[in-house]
Structure 1
Amino acid sequence: MVDGVAGASVRPTWLGHPRGLFLLFFVELWERFSFYGMRAILVLYLTKHFLLAEQPAYAIYGAYTSMVYITPILGGLLADRLLGARKAVLAGGIFITIGHLLIAVVEGPQGQQGSALLGFYLALAFVIVGTGFLKGNISVLVGALYPRDDIRRDGAFSIFYMGINTGAFVGPIIVGILGETVGWGWGFGAAGIGMALGLVAFLSFRRELAGVGEPPVAGALRRRSPIGISNEWLIYVGAILAVFASWYLVGQQGLVGLLLIAAAVVTVGGIIVTAVTKLPRQERDRLFAALFLIMLCPLFWALFEQTGSSLTLYTDQAVDRTILGFAIPASVFQSVNPAFIITLAPVFGAIWVKLGRRKLEPSAPFKFGIGLILVGAGFFALILGAPSQGLTPAIFVILLYLFHSAAELCFSPIGLSSMTRLSVKSMTGLMMGTWFLATAAGNFIAGLIAQATGGEGAGAEQVLEVYARIGWFAIGVGVVVLAVAPFVAKLMHLDTLGDSDHVLAGDPLNVEPASVGLDTRGERKP
């Protein structure tokens, strides 16, 4: 079966979508298997193997998870300008695989915090840099498979998001059970093998991408850099240096916070200047709408990402985890959220498509408002079910994840789709990187919130008190977003999304699509 879209190349399809979507689905599945599997046992590993107190463990977790989402800015910029999304994804997968396998071999004796802990930081640094290359750019490849006005785009990102959550579902189960019951090295090793499988698939079936994601300027990567090596190898050498920089920063939470602020000022400031000085009104308005959505990311992810930190230890220490006579490891509960996503994603995708055909689909900002309300309400599901004494029944943790999963489906896949839809072609990687920068800020704030729940003498009551405060705040902000959503939606100019992309004025690296064998939508000509 083939699919012909006006102005786009004719590509083989499966289930109505380009076959390249399902390759990217599979690669992202294994990358998320490795990431979420490792995340499921990260805080438990720090507190039970290295015997760190809760607050420093949360600080390391917050620094690491925020840096994982900072680096996609540079990865997106490099892909936009020189490397291309395809090579960036390949390089990222290699770095991530090295990082996970390194964690598996530097475990050391329990309680040893010297060289073993430094080796653990180095392994995290490889994952951080690798994710910078891969995370934003694989979403760019998904977006590049479709014209901007294609009604299948949100559905495609929902399918892609199911790949993310399939990996996120299986990862904590396999890595968590191996790590908590067999040995930490077994769990981390399984995470590395998962990423390696994704790499093999990407190399074996990359032809299904039908030419999308190539370097933007032909021959630029082969040119000699000032130090005598090609531009491509200069990027890889720089990535290795970035590993060592990240190695230092993992243990420096305060410095990471300052870098986040600086990166936000420079990145968002640069986007605004570019939008004002180089873009026509409609494209400028769309970028402003995208920035509004990005501004909501830190709050959402700060609450949602309690999953891997404070909620994991709360589940380990204050939840009755015995189900049908079996004691379920705390890390396995992190599979509940992706299980709900897998179940609900087709439902949400079908609802959006059905409403879209009737021109009743809520706008992206309206969906974001719903997501914020739901993520706040999830904490109250846990709070209301927690007894005054004794352990919290596991069903209320599961109910929290149900609310958070519905919230995520109103937020994350819609945000990914909006970044590729609202950006001009030459800034798509940068906008996706900025989306992940905002996610990084959310993860950093999540670490601070988690630290507020822990500390000397802290108990379940303090955790629930913090959850109540942040829950009410999210609900209040969500209501405000619902009120302003119609005004933001007007900035998106949805009626003209199918028009040709605009070229940035005065940009020497921006090449007219026709000059490199592309049509006006940036797709390969048939």
Structure 2
Amino acid sequence: MATASPTTLPSGKTWLGHPRGLFLLFFVEMWERFSFYGMRALLIFYLTQHFLFSDRDAAHSYGAYMSLIYISPLMGGYLADRYLGQRKAVLFGGIVIAAGHIILGLEADGSADAMGLGLFWSGLATVIVGTGFLKASVSAMVGQLYPRDDMRRDPAYTIFYMGINVGATIGPLICGYLGQRWGWHWGFGAASVGMIAGVIGFLLCKPLLQGKGEPPDPARLAERVGGVISREWLVYLSSLLAILLCWLLIQQHAVVGWMLAGASVLMVLYILWEAFGRMERIGRDRMLAALFLLFINPLFWGLYEQTGSSLSLFTARYTDRNILGFDVPASMFQSVNAAYILIFGPIFAALWIALAKRGREPSTPAKFGLALILVGAGFLILVAGTGAPGTLTPILFIFLLYLCHTLGELCLSPVGLSAMSKLAPSRMIGLIMGIWFLAMALGEYVAGMIAGATGGADGAASRDAVLSVYGDIGWWSIGIGIFVIAVAPFVKRLMHAGELSGEEGAEAEAQRDSFAIADRVEDKPA
């Protein structure tokens, strides 16, 4: 009697044909993103309005914070893989994140003196460390619920990333409204409630995980180091000490920049050494193609991530935010991007497959060029829609800017992850994915520098100064995007995609890109 294949037969109790643990992880990630994006929507306003930072200083602090957010999952993922296992890492990370938001909520009702600012940095540093543990592990646990050859595996990630974008949509709406209408502590407090809800749900529904994500060596994890403390608690306490390091780094914007620059140079040199010293021609060509795409990554995110800094301030000061008689708080508009992803993600997924079937799908580097053109066009549309001095910009142009930026993200974000996995040799996949997120962290730092440049000589932004910067970066982005499209055929040859060519191969590549299309890249750590 033949047995059913694991690719077609669900194991255990399921919901909608998927393990119930998937929806637990959906729930946890939705609330984590709710708390993260809800807090981020308030961050630039809190710095400029509560602590009275100049626009430039606030943008630099914002950039340093976001850079560290992207770097932290590298260490958190390593500790989860080697010691804790993903389940303990998600639980620990969620608790630490919730504690960070509680600290922010408590401080928000206090003074804006040096002591209050120090406590604020402590809250952000705590969120950074917690995010490193949770974000590095929760995505991995989704894959652990399925056999490697299970055909439900890729659709499961699409369901999971819908949770990401649901949380990213409602977080700024709720936390932004409460923070800017009722008081800062209400907004930050709502963010903490979201993460606490995720932690409680994760604790109560642990059996749904079917024993996945447990420590690789429980006996070793329980061993006492020096006869004093278990290795598990040593990991926890050491990680909490990392909060102090993050607390220092957030306040040293230049130090974070030098760290990122140094790490980036080392990674580029290492890739070149691997390509020319240890690989044959095809492998070398692919690594050079990967390096080309990696260079584009921080350029795109440096422009795109104006969302949480200079664009938020521009929306607050220079746009007509009255919608149906309601003066919408500027922080709430940070939900627009995630809402667009929920709408257009499935459309792009179907588009790539349809174009591939007809042999007309753009190559990966051409998609990167298109992404740069779209993000640049978004800024130029905003500049064109801004009227004479003293008039408010219609909010329509903010929606159009975010539309262009979201379409650009869908051309680059999931496609870039897919490209890295295809170009890297099997022994370097983890490293290359880590470098991809390092490049994103560098992009966040660049975003802070660009936002800081809108502040002018005295650090305070005027409308003309902001529009001048937006016009410049818009045209530069379009110009670089056109160049990337022009050289795309050459880069495509370096990728040796011909080995996967033909209708079947092209469609397979389009499907791999589309499976992750609902992903926001910052939410998929290596």
TM-score of the pair, normalised by structure 2: 0.83
Cα contact 1:289–1:492 (8 A) shared by 2? no
Cα contact 1:282–1:491 (8 A) shared by 2? no
Corresponding residue of 1:466: 469
Q: Which amino acid aligns with 2:122?
A: L
| 1:294–1:23 CA distance, 2 compared to 1 (3 A) | farther
Would you say how many aligned residue pairs link Structure 1 and Structure 2? 495
Structure 1 residue 243 displacement after superposition:
0.2
267-276 or 349-358: bigger deviation: 267-276
Q: Which amino acid aligns with 2:303?
A: L
Give distance in 1, aligned partners of 2:142 and 2:285: 24
| 1:480–1:9 CA distance, 2 compared to 1 (3 A) | farther
Q: How does 1:190-201 map to 2 (within 5 A)?
A: 190-201=190-201
Which consecutive unaligned segments of at least 5 residues does structure 2 have? 506-526
Give distance in 2, aligned partners of 1:103 and 1:259: 27
| 1:293–1:18 CA distance, 2 compared to 1 (3 A) | farther
Corresponding residue of 2:64: 63
Structure 1 residue 471 displacement after superposition:
1.7
Q: How does 1:228-243 map to 2 (within 5 A)?
A: 228-243=228-243
Give distance in 1, aligned partners of 2:281 and 2:221: 34
Cα contact 2:7–2:149 (8 A) shared by 1? no
Cα contact 1:363–1:489 (8 A) shared by 2? no
Q: How does 1:260-409 map to 2 (within 5 A)?
A: 260-266=260-266, 290-355=290-355, 361-389=361-389, 390-409=391-410
447-456 or 2-11: bigger deviation: 2-11
Q: Which amino acid aligns with 2:252?
A: Q
Give distance in 2, aligned partners of 1:217 and 1:273: 35
1:294 counterpart SS class: helix
460-469 or 208-217: bigger deviation: 208-217
RMSD of equivalent CA atoms: 3.5
Give distance in 1, aligned partners of 2:5 and 2:398: 46
| 1:109–1:41 CA distance, 2 compared to 1 (3 A) | same
Corresponding residue of 1:94: 95
93-102 or 361-370: bigger deviation: 361-370
Give distance in 2, aligned partners of 1:245 and 1:492: 47
220-229 or 400-409: bigger deviation: 220-229
Give distance in 2, aligned partners of 1:103 and 1:10: 43
| 1:253–1:369 CA distance, 2 compared to 1 (3 A) | same
Q: How does 1:510-525 map to 2 (within 5 A)?
A: none
Cα contact 1:301–1:439 (8 A) shared by 2? yes
Give distance in 1, aligned partners of 2:136 and 2:498: 22
| 1:352–1:17 CA distance, 2 compared to 1 (3 A) | farther
Structure 1 residue 5 displacement after superposition:
4.7
Cα contact 2:22–2:160 (8 A) shared by 1? yes
Corresponding residue of 1:486: 492
Structure 1 residue 461 displacement after superposition:
1.5
Cα contact 1:249–1:256 (8 A) shared by 2? yes
Q: Which amino acid aligns with 1:92?
A: G
| 1:394–1:126 CA distance, 2 compared to 1 (3 A) | same
Structure 1 residue 298 displacement after superposition:
0.9
191-200 or 217-226: bigger deviation: 217-226
Q: How does 1:101-180 map to 2 (within 5 A)?
A: 101-109=102-110, 112-144=112-144, 156-180=156-180
Residue 252 in 1 paired to residue 252 in 2?
yes
Which consecutive unaligned segments of at least 5 residues does structure 1 have? 498-526
Cα contact 1:452–1:466 (8 A) shared by 2? yes
Corresponding residue of 1:523: none
Corresponding residue of 1:503: none
475-484 or 26-35: bigger deviation: 475-484
Corresponding residue of 2:37: 36
Quick one: percent identity of the two aligned structures? Answer: 52
**1:456-507 residue CA offsets vs partner (Å, 9 max, x unmatched):** 364212111111221222223323333335235426965899xxxxxxxxxx
Structure 1 residue 128 displacement after superposition:
0.8
Structure 1 residue 234 displacement after superposition:
2.4
Q: Which amino acid aligns with 2:454?
A: T
1:32 counterpart SS class: helix
Give distance in 2, aligned partners of 1:123 and 1:279: 46
Structure 1 residue 318 displacement after superposition:
0.6
Q: Which amino acid aligns with 1:469?
A: D
1:71 counterpart SS class: helix
153-162 or 3-12: bigger deviation: 3-12
Structure 1 residue 366 displacement after superposition:
3.6
Q: Which amino acid aligns with 1:135?
A: K
| 1:426–1:191 CA distance, 2 compared to 1 (3 A) | farther
Cα contact 2:7–2:152 (8 A) shared by 1? no
Q: Which amino acid aligns with 2:60?
A: A
Q: Which amino acid aligns with 1:486?
A: K
Q: How does 1:198-237 map to 2 (within 5 A)?
A: 198-210=198-210, 212-216=212-216, 219-225=219-225, 228-237=228-237
TM-score of the pair, normalised by structure 1: 0.83
Q: Which amino acid aligns with 1:382?
A: L
| 1:292–1:62 CA distance, 2 compared to 1 (3 A) | same
Q: Which amino acid aligns with 1:490?
A: H
Cα contact 1:73–1:430 (8 A) shared by 2? no
Corresponding residue of 1:185: 185
Give distance in 1, aligned partners of 2:329 and 2:315: 9
**1:376-426 residue CA offsets vs partner (Å, 9 max, x unmatched):** 111111111111221101000111011111111222233345556666777
Give distance in 2, aligned partners of 1:443 and 1:346: 27
Structure 1 residue 145 displacement after superposition:
5.3
Corresponding residue of 1:413: 414
2:453 counterpart SS class: helix
2:113 counterpart SS class: coil
| 1:488–1:464 CA distance, 2 compared to 1 (3 A) | farther
**1:505-524 residue CA offsets vs partner (Å, 9 max, x unmatched):** xxxxxxxxxxxxxxxxxxxx
Q: Which amino acid aligns with 2:24?
A: L
| 1:231–1:262 CA distance, 2 compared to 1 (3 A) | farther
